[in-house]
Structure 1
Amino acid sequence: MSQAEIALWTRARDLTRSDIQSALYERREIVKTAALRLTLHLISARDFPAYVTALKPAFTVYMQRQFARLGAKPAQVDAMMTTVMDALQDGPRTQQELIALARRRAGPKMRLWLKYAWSAVRPLVIEGLICYGPPRGGQATFVRVDQWLPKQPAIDIAEARATLVRRFLGAFGPASVNDFSRWCAMSVTEARPLFDSMRDEIVQVSVDGASGWMLRRDRSELADSTLDVRSPRLLPAFDSFILAHATKEHLIDRKHYKRVWRSQGWISPVVLLGGAIVGVWFPETSGKTCTLEVDLFDRQPRSIRDGIEREAEALGAFVGTPIGVVFL
């Protein structure tokens, strides 16, 4: 199962997998790239320049440190990037193909760098010069952005960062400056003046005694909304909803924390109920069937368990595989 596809499905139930593939690779309205925390994200093509511009400074410093530690010179890095861009001139290439091409022209230090996954593509992804293309034979490919997406006007860093604040608060507000800082790897020292400069667009509110910021235009809608405490939802591994806030007390009882945020950076798929995490789930596939093993933290009424089974059935319809449920 694609975690990104499930994340979209759980938020927009009328979507089909073909809709998502078409938006990615035919209409190209969505871009698949490494963005926040240099992890894979699906981003609106309209916002792609803003994300690249806002995130590039911190990522560039990170990459420069990596190359300096290796002893690679800037000219060697530039040569590798040129090799990759030239290789993509005639269309999509897999990461393995790009690494092989780059190794042929690299010196000893760069060949050492090219032993690692992402090595040939990460600097170009950070620069916004390449992104993911259509998969080929089960493998991801990369394409040149200047060939894949229509040319868009340049955006200055102040407006790019403001765009990230709007997108973050629109999706996850109310949230704190620290939440935003952790989300996009921007220092609090940089983020706080950014929030101060947007007071005409954002407003500070208090929810259950906790202070946070949200978009002014969303305030009335939030005030009029009611929390659905009867309909469970299945969120995939690494879902943005549970990653967005620096503190998690509003999501989960601390005694269950390690059942979601596990060793080696793994974040489990979760069962969400009334805005809180009440369990985790894991898919077990056998042939053409799939079973979700659901581990609820506390005993839930039959109506909630029935709701989870309905969610699994709907997920099965989305992925095209019958899905059953086993409660552990």
Structure 2
Amino acid sequence: MNHAIASLSWPEVSARRMERSSLSAPSPQAGSAEIVSALCGAHAQVLSAAELAVALRIEGATRSDVRTDLWDRRQVVKTYGPRGTVHLLTTADLPMWIGAFSSIPQSPSPFPKDVRMTEDQTEQVVAAIGKSLESAELTIDELTDAVVEATGPWAGDLVMEAFQGKWPRWRQAMTLAAHRGVLCFAPNRGRKVTYTNPLRYLSGISPLDGPTAQARLVQKYLHAYGPATPQNFAQWLNAPRGWAGNLFRSLAGEIQEVDFEGTTAWINAGDTTAPADTPRGLRLLPYFDAYVVAAQPRSLLYPGRAAERALTPSGQAGNYPVLMVDGTVAGVWHQRRSGRRIHVTVEPLKPLSAAQLAELDEQVERVATVLEGKPELTIGTVSVGGHA
């Protein structure tokens, strides 16, 4: 006997996701850790953008609050997260992330044969990184010395192509070391980046086993960004599609199929509710905001000209800060700091009404408050290109 599956429309899904991402309204009680956990991580390649993304979602918060939770209270960790890119993750979620990352099939090495390390060398390097950072905060040069001393001169061979010159061979294992839970960022020492071992902050808590961690990650992802397909999940993680498909099949009973605008997608079992109201209002989201990177399908989130203006030619999201209107991308924006002055330029793709212009003023004021500056708004063309 065939049972009709639940159906969710784009306005319903958009409203669900925005509410769960604290974009419908800033949360009056959440802290940085709760927001970062709800987002399944905040992209932090540009740390100031991550600070803005998190603080905008918390009533009255500023970038200083996020920094305190990151560097002083250690409730948030800066490390290599989904897609191997720098993210803020919560310390409490690290056992899940480490367990999941450690059990996702590894992609083939992108490096030439003469640059690659053997499996044994890679394991030696990861162990040396973890041991060297056990009770220390080291710069990249100090960590290089420690790894080479523990493993051998081969680890220090300058063979990796870098922005200006070459990096030592061992550095190709940094993301793996982070995903194994033995490397994360520590506070800068002056202008120098430092690293430490996040296990220092876990008080003896062990990572979850692979299957448990993977199941929990799927459930968190679907809560935030469902309905979604295994392919969406694989793209978000930069993991093999076949593996993601098998993982979703293994969770039968814990997740369920729904009809989402004519396609089959998945949500957590029983999680079919949606807010009564469709999304309303303006939001300014920074570079690589988790919402615009993870929410699919992009054809609905970036309708019409928004795709041309706010996505890269290859369809990548996040490279431009975006103006969202009523739940969809409707423009781009840019901010430039000059002392205390925050110069904000917003380029809407359609003319804004008087009420929308008033709300835009409020949003720009909020951005400036988070960044601890004074706002200055210009509505016009954003001439700055996308972030690499």
TM-score tier by shorter-chain length is 0.7 to 0.9
Name the residue aligned to 2:371.
319
Contact kept? 2:334, 2:345, Cα under 8 Å: yes
**Does structure 1 residue 228 correspond to structure 2 residue 267?**
no
Name the residue aligned to 1:35.
81
Percent identity (aligned): 24
Matched residue of 1:227: which SS? coil
Return the offset for 1:291: 0.9
Matched residue of 1:181: which SS? helix
The amino acid of 1:107's aligned partner reads: W
Matched residue of 2:251: which SS? coil
Moved more, 206-215 or 291-300: 206-215
Name the residue aligned to 2:115.
70
Name the residue aligned to 1:258.
308
The amino acid of 2:276's aligned partner reads: S
Inter-CA distance 327–84: structure 2 relative to 1 (3 Å threshold): same
Contact kept? 2:80, 2:178, Cα under 8 Å: yes
The amino acid of 1:95's aligned partner reads: I
Of the three residues 327, 330, 339, the one matched with 1:278 is: 330
Name the residue aligned to 2:287.
237
Matched residue of 1:292: which SS? strand
Contact kept? 2:105, 2:239, Cα under 8 Å: no
Inter-CA distance 255–273: structure 2 relative to 1 (3 Å threshold): closer
Number of aligned residue pairs = 324
For residues 58 and 217 of structure 1, the distance between their equivalents in structure 2, rounded to whole angstroms, comes to: 27
- Measured against aligned partners, the alpha-carbon deviations of 1:111-153 in whole angstroms (never above 9, x if no partner) come to 3238349547334213221111223324432111232332213
**Does structure 1 residue 54 correspond to structure 2 residue 100?**
yes
Of the three residues 110, 126, 130, the one matched with 2:157 is: 110
Contact kept? 1:51, 1:164, Cα under 8 Å: yes
For residues 140 and 203 of structure 2, the distance between their equivalents in structure 1, rounded to whole angstroms, comes to: 23
Q: Please state which structure has a larger fraction of its residues in helix.
A: 1
Inter-CA distance 186–123: structure 2 relative to 1 (3 Å threshold): closer
Of the three residues 88, 94, 111, the one matched with 2:139 is: 94
For residues 365 and 143 of structure 2, the distance between their equivalents in structure 1, rounded to whole angstroms, comes to: 40
Aligned CA RMSD, in angstroms, stands at 2.9
Structure 1: runs of 5+ lacking an equivalent:
none
Q: Which runs of 4+ in 1 moved over 6 A?
A: 263-266
Return the offset for 1:87: 3.9
Matched residue of 1:250: which SS? helix
The amino acid of 1:111's aligned partner reads: L
**Does structure 1 residue 309 correspond to structure 2 residue 361?**
yes
Structure 2: runs of 5+ lacking an equivalent:
1-46, 381-388
For residues 89 and 97 of structure 2, the distance between their equivalents in structure 1, rounded to whole angstroms, comes to: 8
**Does structure 1 residue 173 correspond to structure 2 residue 226?**
yes
Return the offset for 1:83: 4.8
The amino acid of 1:125's aligned partner reads: A
**Does structure 1 residue 21 correspond to structure 2 residue 59?**
no
Contact kept? 2:115, 2:160, Cα under 8 Å: yes
Moved more, 79-88 or 41-50: 79-88
Report 1 or 2 for greater relative contact order, CA contacts < 8 Å, sequence distance ≥ 6: 2
Moved more, 14-23 or 35-44: 14-23
What is the TM-score of this pair, normalised by structure 2?
0.74
